[in-house]
Structure 1
Amino acid sequence: MALHDEKHEWGATRVRDTFLDYFKERGHTFVPSSSVVPLSDPTLLFTNAGMNQYKAIFLGTVDPASDFAQLKRAVNSQKCIRAGGKHNDLDDVGKDSYHHTFFEMLGNWSFGDYFKKEAIQYSWELLTKVYGIDPKRLYVTFFEGSEGLDPDLEAKELWKDVGVPEDHILPGDMKDNFWEMGDQGPCGPCSEIHYDLRQPEGENYRNAASLVNQDDPEVIEIWNNVFIQYNREPDKSLRPLPNKHVDTGMGFERLVCVLQGKKSNYDTDVFTPLFKRIQEITGARDYRGKFGKDDPDGIDTAYRVVADHVRTLSFAIADGGVPNNVGRGYVVRRVLRRGARYARKYFETDIGDFFSKIVPSLVEQMGDMFPEIKKKEADIKEILDEEEKSFAKSLDRGEVMFEKYAQKAKVKGSNDLPGDDVWRLYDTYGFPVDLTKLMAEERSLNINDKEVEEAQERAREASKGDKKAGAVLVKLDVHDLGALENMKDVPKTDDSPKYGRENITAVIKAIYHNKKFLTSTKEVPEGEQFGVLLDRTNFYAEQGGQEYDTGRLLVDDEAEISIENVQVYAGYVLHTGYLKYGELSVGSEVIAEYDELRRHPIRSNHTGTHVLNYALREVLGNEVDQKGSLVAPEKLRFDFSHKSGLSDADLAKIEQICTEYIRQNSEVFAKDVPLATAREIRGVRAVFGETYPDPVRVVSVGVPVEDLLTDVKNPQWEKVSVEFCGGTHVKQTGEIKELVILEESGIAKGIRRIVAVTGQDAYDVQRQASEFEEQLARVEKMKYSPEKEAEAKKMQVDLNQLTISALTKNQFRDRFAKIQKSILDEQKAAAKADNKRVMDIVTNHFTKNEEARFFVEKVEWSSNVTKAINEAIKSVSGPKSALREKSVYLFSANQDDGKVVHGCYVSEHFKAQGADGPKWASSVTGIVGGKAGGKPGAPTAVGQGTNAHKIDEGIEEARKWIENFQV
């Protein structure tokens, strides 16, 4: 029976459910896994442990109005990625039986509830009684102490209490038994549970204590109980937390391995369904579970790498971690390229849509537990295909170059691959350095990291020089064009390949620098910008509102020109940029490689512009005319004629029509049509005053252009987006994903402008809106307090800076205005209540003590207390006041910031004895600090101090002072 056909008593799903149910039955709340991409926590590349989402609870900063504030016990299975940053297992994946870049962390938590005793009892009972794991094969560790921290002898004794023999309880150092989430954050001593995978011979159990934490593949850690007691501060010191917590994490894949009696996580039904699918796609031999030298053809290793990486990629992308060149996006890209290279080399399969074929099997296997991958399946597949295709363009050539560099090193008798060569493999062919290291390892070659960094720094410095030199774009003028017309061997550029999606080969026809046409790049001064004309190009030159492509022209390992701008002049397409290395001449045949990852969002935004144009006419009428547009990678901008601003209802309708068009996944058709015929097509959209070529390119969304031409006057074409356009477009509207309008404004009389985003950028603004909405909802629920006021002030700044849907932003502004009004109303009510509270204290005192001539008192602090004291002093001293013959001194203090407020009134009785308000107030300012105001001789005075800790001394002094004037 094939490995993937085996059935187990402890199937993966049952293992997970059993864990969750055990803790639910013991009062733990199930909390769904948080995103594997912690978008709101810049200290983490990826969620690398189950406790990440509870960080605010551990730190005591959790919002008291949130569900988490009431959480005492929790259980879940958290998605984790360890492929970058502090915790990085990428290099080990495939080489052993238990490392993964993506894994599930089964965990149970206590937040200031139970601690070490219960956690240890739960662990032991679940493993040995519920799962039935042989206790004689389990080993536990405890923290041995370090850095002035005592050993965790309490945990050691608790393990003895549940029945673990002393020779199975082992001390561990800071590395193994003190858990930290990152360079800063909650942390504490931990107690691990390890399992010996080797079967005993009858009753002859070996003692594997010496193999614990020694990277022995047969003695693996399965569970870690972390006792959170400290926070690692930015200065690296440890600060005790206000409450003690339990944070446990058990490797789901390792637990399944133990329960299914396997030696490797990859032999379990966590991975075998993926192996089965990989085999179906590639036609490779069965997975045999071999490692290292026992896997000479590398196919078993490739199975493990691909299965692991498709899990990481799918969950990262589903949670918003899209591949790019920065931070976590670059980690995702590295993982994909590493996996693609394994597939290409070991399975000998084409890449471009390889990973996306495995995704449905993963969704079927894990989509019920993690519904986000089911919901985002289409997006995951599309992004994987896009990235793979981009890498596929240079993978073969990069592998050839690697072999060339490897041979060069061997010829020199060296086992070192030069840093310049490693950097070039990244810079030109997109090989992440760790992928090159992997390939070098296969050839027994070494890479010097310092050399690579130096090569990278040299390239960066050269690039800085380029940018400085390139302040003014190289352009062709009328004289240059006249010269070109006379150069019979320089034809106008054939740019028809720009509508394709592949690299092409082209011939250099001219090199242009400093108003001269040259024969070789050797004639261009180092670091200066120049232009290149080719016989044909796949680069898009800036026109029709669409931005230019960037990319490179190169002869592999001989020369490379970095192309940073492309413009067209009377049919001549000029590629401008800088020589990176080598030399090229007129007549050189080069590979023309535009940057697909820049072109891709431009295509989405351009087709999105057509869809938007159609929606505008549907909502606002046929009098809407296009007045200009910009199609860039990060946004689209569309200017149109309309007399007035668009209402929220208009914007909502426009977005709805765009969404419907995109959701239909309509095919985008394009065809050159005689201009006279094209103009006759019913509903065709063209820019008024624009000069179009004949024939003109007609782009139709959803209906083939041939169908339009069979009956050009058909009124149905009014319901189709049809435009004259020379730009690049998606193949189907589904590639656009979403269209979100960010801004609608007037730019001139009768001219409006819409700015919008599509694709991943649209998803990002929707996510930002969703995150802000959560904050908004939280503040809406908050009761009036200084914290609510502070949150609202911060939120107003954030809302103004937020880049989100214009419609949503308007809705947020309406909701925020209600919050502000409620705060204002609550402030007024609170101020009124405070005024009454303070005045009632004064009134009640004299009601109970009618004979008393003065009253000195401290009142409770509040945000309105200054005004409340002032109002009370005014009321007592007023001409119609019943208390006018009483003298009053009121104090209040805020011990948190040291602030003191005070105010007094001196009655005529005491004034007659020589007292007044300013004198009385000055008697206490020397104690409470600050100053007091009031005209000399006036009956009243108010002041503010800075010594809140001396408030009682100040009150005593005020009482003694007035008593001296009592007759």
Structure 2
Amino acid sequence: MQKLGLNEIRERYLSFFESKGHLRLPSFPLVPQNDPSILLINAGMTPLKPYFTGKEVPPRKRITTCQKCIRTPDIERVGKTARHGTFFEMLGNFSFGDYFKREATAWAWEFVTQDLKLPVDRLWVSIYKEDDEAFEIWTKEVGVAPDRIVRMGKEDNFWEHGTGPCGPCSEIYFDRGEEAGCGDPNCAVGCDCDRFVEFWNLVFTQFDKDEQGNYNRLPNPNIDTGMGLERLAAIMQGVNSLFEVDTVKNIMEHVSKVAGVKYKEDPKKDISLRVITDHIRSTTFMVSDGILPSNEGRGYVLRRLLRRAARHGKLLGIEKPFLYEVAETVINESKEAYPELEEKREYIKKVIKVEEERFDETIDQGLNILNQYIAELKEANQKILSGDKAFRLYDTYGFPIDLTREILAEQGMGIDEEGFNHEMNEQRERARAARQEADSAAWGNDVFSKMDRNISTQFTGYFQFASISRVLAIIKGNTEVDKASKGEQVTILLDQTPFYGESGGQVGDTGVLESNNVKIRVLDCKKQGEGRFLHICEIESGEVSKNDEVKAVIDLERRKAISRNHTATHLLQKALRNVLGDHVAQSGSQVAPDRLRFDFSHYSAMTKEEIDKVEREVNRVVLDSLPIEAKEMPIEEAKKMGATALFGEKYGSIVRLVKMGDYSLELCGGSHLTSTSQVGAFKIISEGGVAAGVRRIEAVTGLEALDYFANKEKALEEVAVILKSSSSDIVKKAEALVNELKTSQKEVENLRNKLVRSSADDILSKAVHVKGIKVVTARMDELDMDGLRNMGDTLRNKLGSGVVALATGNEGKVNFVVMATKDVVAKGIHAGNIIKEVAKTAGGGGGGRPDMAQAGGKDVSKIDEALNKVIGLIEQQIK
């Protein structure tokens, strides 16, 4: 059996199916496109779902891909076994109503036995127990021995997910030999041991399951196959796990070098090596696809993987950020198949490094909370941390549960594991229920899915702003109707339209549909993947019927404003890349008539100088009056020309290229101007962050920019009147007033400090002794929170030894500060526990360290009552 590298196997597979008439598509991003049912792509067929359901037309009826995938249900088991991983690549060949079982099985067998040369006597096939057709094809046409075929039940060999397309499947297994088995004489295909490895699943999608549970035969059945690349590579390379496959092994060797440890020398360290190796593969690919660490959704998955890997780095003794360095090896191993890794190399490393540095801060925050929990356990004479608190540390603060166990064990304590697992299971159930509900919705039927697939719209609106069109369909609610009349809100499909359908960040056109019999106001226009344009309408007069002819006219002035802003987004993206660097990539946009919004990847706020530089560059290109050309061409030709594409966007074989002089070249289906000078003027009105590593610019162009300048000028004149100054002298006048205010504030601060010093001695003279500890309490409504803390520090220093408790109440808001000197803390005083009870009396809450704590409250009338509790609380702590 030949030994092949993972990268060579991938290429062989894709080339093999290209030779069988399949279109090779690059891997789709890990972020699902227009599919709310899942967080991350988890199978090769997932991004192709619209082709299987008929919602979109595939670029070819035969497709082959190698899809990067992430699965996280077993994340806690990753590292503990040599089998589990979160990232993998899925090879697949797909037929959309073209070939079926005969070709799928024949080609699968040809590839594994003739191309890969896997020994036939070590291959097994499983089929669905009722699929006699598959048995006949495998045995009589493909030539597999009948005794090498195993029939299995629905759970193993029938693919379905709720309603919709489904069908039986057939799997190919590799026998790794008796030495890899469990020793049971009945060990066979289907056993849970490591002997029989399933590596290729052929799904025969031949049924459509309806709401009543009936399996209706599809007129054009599909083929969906999936083969784990790493699993196949392990077979071809004769190794026992994915971590020993060549490309993965090279990543682990990099980790081993940084940590100064070797694999298979220490089982505990091996767990950490596997965790880091798997997780850095996942995170590198996730970041390259535009995912950024956050506290929700797929960003939370990324953060969790990164922090788990960083934690295991610390267990191996690595104290500095290192994952971003290991990402280099991940990129080098896979960059030929996934060129986006190389394109975003520096960006990927930056994102990972920043998150590693943030994790160090999280560790500190988690330790503070855990230490507080430990103090509470000691005070209550308990040794078990509740499951909900352990889960809160893990889930809310990202504090690894194994670290919580380790630190508690050092204190002779433990965790309520049952309670923790209960909380974990509750969270999993909530997530699973949400996924199932969303998945069912994603495969659901609506009026459009039942519509004739031949009903589509020709868009004529790039250069024509009116057309004579025929009404193909009228939708009211979720029902297709034959006619509609005045006052009704409907969705209308036309055979051709000048209305741009909302897509690519550009809003839809508005306008009218009219004839002698009817006038219809078009409120919006949306585009469906099937090439249908949905005109969202309100009928103002008359009646419209299916097959009527209407004149479709867009609001031209509004379209011009939209086009100005869309052209400006192209200029903006290019200017941002020139000023900030090539890591800048579009993360989202909205192009409306009144403004544009552009989201882009960048890890820090732009400086005033950078914003000015970008704005000036865009306006310079506007003044250069560059010609704007848009033309359709094959996608490969566009890429050779250096066109910028939106990563993750689905492009057909023919694309529309928008060229602005020699400055900007982008793939875009939006509406544009004919010259950059038509933008008029470009003004950035805001720049800010919307997520970790994503910035947002809002800008205006044309008449909106002129209005913006006019409003600024008006505001300047109004300020000048208020300051009794001319517009030209307003800055000098403002500076003079600010200096005057600073002088006044210094005088006020000096007077306040004198007051504090004089009142400090008065407060100290009223100190009381509680079991040998001096205690000072005071209410100081004239101070804000900062002043209260400063007074607390002053009193504690002058006191030398004891406890200070202060409160202030202003405008219905209460603040408390409790401070204790180190010697009384050693006697059992805990400022955080004192303030928790004090604040509760005033309707608030808070906490803090044993030596210093602060809190808030809501009831000013309860301040004195709250302070009076301090003496009793101190007496309890001394006991």
User: TM-score normalised to the size of structure 2?
Assistant: 0.47
Question: Which structure has more RCO (C-alpha within 8 Å, separation ≥ 6)?
Answer: 2
User: TM-score normalised to the size of structure 1?
Assistant: 0.43
Structure label with greater radius of gyration = 1
